[in-house]
Each structure stands twice: as C-alpha cells, then as structure tokens.
Amino acid sequence: MTNYKSFQAQINEKFGLLFSSKPRIFQAPGRVNLIGEHTDYNDGFVFPIALERRTTAAMIRRDDRKLEIWSENMGESIAIDLNDNSSKRNHWSDYVAGVAAIMEKSGMTLSGANIYLESDVPVGSGLSSSAALEVSTALGLAAIHGIEIDKISLAKLCQRAENEFVGMKCGIMDQFIACHGEHNKALLLDCRSLDFQMIELPLQNALFVVCNTMVKHELGASEYNKRRSECEEAVQILSQHIPGVQSLRDISISQFTQHAAKLPPVVRNRTRHVITETQRVLDAIEALKNDDLAEFGELMNASHNSLQADYEVSCTELDTMVEIARSIDGTLGARMTGGGFGGCTVNLVLEDQVDSFCSIIQQRYQHKFNRMPDIYISAPSHGMREIS
C-alpha cells in the first residue's frame, strides 16, 4: 500500500481538522500574459494563458454571517463579520472580504462560510495570485449559497472587489483568464467589448518559460494607479483634437504621430506604449496564424522594450533577466509580464534548449543578484472549477 492520497482527500482531511466537516472544493489558476501589457484598462487587447498553478478555496456554508478563514500559506486564520465588512484591513484577507462585500453590494446575500485556502501561485510574482484568490472564493461563495452567476459577471465582480475594496485599479485581464482559461489555449480578449477567442497555441518545438526575479518593489500599486491616470490624461487631451475618442484604444498609430506633440512628454511616452502594444497583440495573433514563432518572439521583445522605456514599469532585475534570456541560443523572445516592478519574465524558448536556458538564467541571475530565481514551465491550463 502506498501513502498516496489524492489532492482532494488531503484538502478534506485538513478541512476536517479545522472545521469538523467536509467541504466543497473550488479552484482558480494564476496566469501569465504572453503579450498585451497595460492595455486592458485602456480598452485594448490582451493575450494571457492560465497556469497549472492554482488557488484552492474549500468551504462550507454557515449561518451566522461570519467568514472563518484559514490560510495554509500564511499559517493564519481570520474571522470576518459580514455585518461589518465595508472597508479593507490591509491584510491578505482583503481579497476574500472584498469579494464578499461586492457580492453583497450586488444583491447577493451571504449567510457566512468556513473557508480553507491554499495556493501554489507564488504571491507578488506578477502571476496574479490575487485574481486566483478572488475568483476561487467568488466561485465557492456563489456555489454554496446557490447563487447562479455567469463567468463574465463573476470576473467583473472580482475586478470590482480589487478596484473598490482593495483599492488597486486593475483591469479585467487577470480575473477574466482565471474564469475562462482552457487547456492548451491562450485567451485573446478585447477588453472593451469583452468578446474573446480561445486560441490554440501552435508552438511546434518551443515552450513558454516563466522566470521569477524573486523581487517585488513596493511602488508597484501606487505606480500602477498613476499609469492609469496618465492614460486618462492622454484621453482627455487627445479627445479635444480627435472626435469620438473615449480611450487610448480609439487612437491609431498615425493619429498618435500627428497629435503627439500636444501631450506632455511623460504622457506621450505612456500613450505610445499603449497604442503600439495594442497593435502588437494583433500582430502576434497574425504571427501565430502564420506559424511564425520568430516574429512572435520579436513582438515579445518589442513589448518589453516599450514597457521599459516608454511605460517605465520594468526594473533592473526584470531588465537583467530579459537581457540574459536574449543572450541564450534558442530564445525567440523575452519580456516582463504582468504589472511590473518585479515579478516574472515570460520567454519563448526552443524546446531542445530549455534545459540550458534554465541553468544559464539561474546561474547568471544568481551571480548578479544573489538570489536563485524560480522557473516555471506550464502548459496553458483550464480556468476556475469545482473539484469536489
């Protein structure tokens, strides 16, 4: 007899020890964005995949308007009173409390829950552990209360929790892919209409390899919100000169060139990034259709350069990681992924070079920063689901 216990059995056992009952088990994945960064809140396009790494939220209902939450990763429990849940506590539980608060604001009455959380999405790595937590919690809370909610509404609700409760003005990408991910497919999402296509990745002999810088610079959240206001400023100015402009999505590259001088220099750079990045996503899809991975990789490189120079959301660790990657034979493209200021890079690497890619990255990055980077290789995976 082996000691092997299914994942589900392990969760049931841990939950049983904490709450003396058997839970329903829900999961949602982290994500890596392949191209289309800082375009979602500008109504542009994004192209992420869901990862095989996911957050698990096991729960049962209780009837006293309390959420009793245990986080296995934090080794900590917290109780939240749903009658007193209108503002954040600056704590990991804000994502859960925020989801519950927005569900209730949207007219879904919750009676309470015992919740067990665990995750293998690395926190603060730009792989969207927060959306994985929000979406798994929202899916679970809805299910145990018998509330029907479609995937798009659930993604929007989680985004609202992050915008209004946590105070991070994120776009819709992370929550959307956590809901919609599909095995071996990437999501092409039009963040204006929310029309989307799941696109098969014809990667032939290449793989996406994710490298973690293991740093997260504190200014991330405030700089993120600042980028949003700079984009809004650009829209405000350009809409006085170009009719019908509601977001940076509405501005073509030639219109930008014509009117760029009207923008303050920093805002002009931000705008250039968003407009060219939106086009790069469409070009990347074309490249995939033509089986042109070299071109896809070039577009990834151009995306990083633009995030670094024009959007200024990269950092020394990300730039170094990208430089090392690009110097290795068999790397077709390398860029930072996610919000920036630390976190991960995503690299398109020829399969037969992946081993040497990983060892060179680890060795050189560690040599420079004295930190060993984690490396993840994940096939595009499925979105949220109940596994019990």
Active-site positions?
A: 174
Binding to ligand GLA, residues 312-371 (CB under 6 A): 338-339
- Residue 313 in contact with residue 277, Cβ under 8 Å? no
Cβ 148 to ligand GLA, closest distance in Å?
Answer: 26
Number of residues interacting with ligand GLA: please give it, by CB under 6 A: 12
Cβ 93 to ligand GLA, closest distance in Å?
Answer: 19
- Which residue do the tokens 């003005």 mark? 169
> Helix %, strand %, coil % for the chain, to 5?
45, 25, 30
Residue 12 or 33: the one with the smaller Cβ distance to ligand GLA is 33
Strand pairing category for 196-200 and 76-81: unpaired
Region of residue 299 (left: phi > 0; alpha: psi -120 to 50; beta: else)? alpha
Q: State which of residues 27, 29, 38, 324 lies at the interface with ligand GLA (CB under 6 A).
A: 38
Start-to-end C-alpha separation, the chain = 24
Residue 171 or 380: the one with the smaller Cβ distance to ligand GLA is 171
- Residue 338 in contact with residue 121, Cβ under 8 Å? no
Cβ 241 to ligand GLA, closest distance in Å?
Answer: 26
Cβ 315 to ligand GLA, closest distance in Å?
Answer: 14
Contact status: 380 vs ligand GLA (CB under 6 A): no
Which listed range, 10-18, 169-177, 257-265, 288-296, lies at the site for ligand GLA (CB under 6 A)? 169-177
Contact status: 157 vs ligand GLA (CB under 6 A): no
- Residue 257 in contact with residue 235, Cβ under 8 Å? no
Contact status: 277 vs ligand GLA (CB under 6 A): no
Contact status: 170 vs ligand GLA (CB under 6 A): yes
- Residue 275 in contact with residue 248, Cβ under 8 Å? yes
CA distances from 247 to 171, 175, 195, 224, 233 (A): 13, 21, 17, 17, 10
Cβ 219 to ligand GLA, closest distance in Å?
Answer: 14
- Residue 166 in contact with residue 137, Cβ under 8 Å? no
> Which letter does DSSP use for residue 352 in this model?
G
CA atoms within 13 A on the CB side of 304: 25
Residue 144 or 313: the one with the smaller Cβ distance to ligand GLA is 313
- Residue 383 in contact with residue 28, Cβ under 8 Å? yes
Which listed range, 33-41, 94-102, 266-274, 362-370, lies at the site for ligand GLA (CB under 6 A)? 33-41
Residue 48 or 112: the one with the smaller Cβ distance to ligand GLA is 48
Cβ 384 to ligand GLA, closest distance in Å?
Answer: 17
Contact status: 68 vs ligand GLA (CB under 6 A): no
Contact status: 40 vs ligand GLA (CB under 6 A): yes
The residues that bridge with 213 in the sheet, in sequence order, are none
For every residue of 114-137, DSSP letters joined together read EEEEEE-SPTTSSS-HHHHHHHHH
Which listed range, 36-44, 75-83, 98-106, 321-329, lies at the site for ligand GLA (CB under 6 A)? 36-44
Q: What are the residues binding ligand GLA (CB under 6 A)?
A: 33, 37-38, 40-41, 128, 170-171, 173-174, 338-339
